[in-house]
Amino acid sequence: MADLIEKELSVFTNPEEVMIFFSAHGVPLTYVKDAGDPYRDQMEDCIALIMEELKSRGTLNDHTLAYQSRVGPVQWLKPYTDEVLVELGQKGVKSLLAVPVSFVSEHIETLEEIDMEYRELALESGIENWGRVPALGCTSSFISDLADAVVEALPSASAMVTRKVKDTDSDMDMMHYLTKMFFGSVLAFFLLLSLRLVSAFRNTLH
């Protein structure tokens, strides 16, 4: 995410003046308060790590977090993206870079909600320069991180060795089964073929 943010910041005339605006998908507040969903804490921790990485590279921009895509009458996680955009415009923010922090791929909530609806609202609210970081998608560093996560989640080495031995035995059984199936299929083929030949021969006699 830090790589993608840096790249998009470089497009602005004055990158150091850009507000980095993290917009995460919201959830009903009861999920967090009553059900104990760690989503909000995870988002805040994630953004803190991103900003820490950017700071280590010399990027010291201000940032904020808001939540989008709420539906229905119940209260969702606040602050809401649309309300914060208006507030930032009123405070005099002129350049803003939207970051879809909790969206792995591009879809209607990035391409339509952020790129169209929120962009229009931001410009109407006084923000003059708008940019948007793409979703992670197939970014190589992201895919590598996913691969590392899979490796870390694998069983211990000893369990893997035991499984390998079992898999070897299983492979031997499978090979034996496939060999039998192959020769059985060949035999069945010739039997059917011979029956057809006998039948054809009889027909010619009649």
Could you give the domains of the chain? Answer: 1-132 (3.40.50.1400)
pLDDT at 161: 47
Count other Cβ atoms within 10 Å, centred on residue 111.
13
Angle at 56 between CA 55 and CA 59, to 5 degrees: 35
Provide the pLDDT for residue 156.
Answer: 59
pLDDT given for residue 197 in this prediction = 54
What pLDDT, on the 0 to 100 scale, is given for residue 158? 45
Q: What is the pLDDT of residues 28-87, one digit of tens each?
A: 999 999 999 999 999 999 999 999 999 999 999 999 999 999 999 999 999 999 999 999
CA–CA gap between residue 136 and residue 38 (Å, rounded): 22
Q: Which residues of the chain have pLDDT under 70?
A: 156-206
d(CA 83, CA 70) in angstroms, rounded, equals: 12
What is residue 125's predicted lDDT score, i.e. its pLDDT? 97
Confidence at residue 157, expressed as pLDDT on a 0 to 100 scale = 43
